[in-house]
């Protein structure tokens, strides 16, 4: 009965983080979730856990296509939004390939791409917070 309590507390913490998050933080959480799913997929691949690998890759695909890609404003986001949309589509296709062919290199490639974009997103958030703390324009 109490064996799942730590997981319940972890879920409550995640839910609280999501409920109290600003839009920028929500995107960071999506990057974190996709990265965690890809780490799990690689571990499952090493352990020859086909079901676990597939589930983790499907979760990462869902986060990328229905979280990150859907958050883009293609109408007003200009070339940056269009380029990110194309990059997210590419990542999804690489993860589908990785799932079919059990290709760790494709997973690693997507992790690297997500890490670069997520790092830039985090840096932008840090800069906006510093501006706000210095009395600059509010995000």
Most confident of 22-31, 72-81, 82-91, 129-138: 82-91
Check pLDDT > 80 for residue 21. Answer: no
Question: What count of residues does the chain have?
Answer: 139
Give me the pLDDT at residue 4, please: 45
Give me the pLDDT at residue 94, please: 98
pTM exceeds 0.85 for this model: no
State the Cα–Cα distance between residues 88 and 111, nearest whole angstrom: 12
Give me the pLDDT at residue 84, please: 96
Check pLDDT > 80 for residue 16. Answer: no
Going from the N-terminus, what domains does the chain have, and what CATH number goes with each? 22-133 (1.20.120.340)
Check pLDDT > 80 for residue 139. Answer: no
Q: Which range, of 50-54, 70-74, 109-113, 134-138, averages the lowest pLDDT?
A: 134-138
Q: HEC profile for 83-95? A: HHHHHHHHHHHHH
State the Cα–Cα distance between residues 67 and 22, nearest whole angstrom: 15
Distances (CA, A) of 60 to 5, 95, 100, 126, 139: 25, 8, 15, 25, 28
pLDDT digits (tens, 9 = 90+) for 87-134: 999 999 999 999 999 999 999 999 999 999 999 999 987 777 787 788
């Amino acid at each position: 009965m109490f064996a799942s309590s730590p997981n319940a507390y972890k879920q409550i913490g995640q839910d609280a983080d999501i409920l109290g998050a600003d839009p920028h933080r929500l995107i960071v959480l999506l990057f974190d979730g996709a990265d965690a799913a890809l780490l799990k997929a690689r571990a499952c691949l090493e352990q020859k856990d086909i079901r676990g690998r597939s589930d983790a890759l499907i979760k990462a695909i869902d986060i990328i296509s229905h979280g990150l890609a859907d958050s883009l404003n293609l109408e007003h986001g200009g070339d940056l939004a269009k380029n990110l949309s194309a990059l997210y589509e590419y990542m999804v296709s690489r993860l589908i390939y990785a799932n079919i062919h059990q290709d760790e290199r494709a997973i690693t490639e997507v992790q690297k791409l997500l890490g670069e974009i997520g790092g830039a997103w985090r840096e932008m958030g840090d800069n906006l917070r510093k501006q706000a703390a210095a009395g600059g324009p509010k995000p």
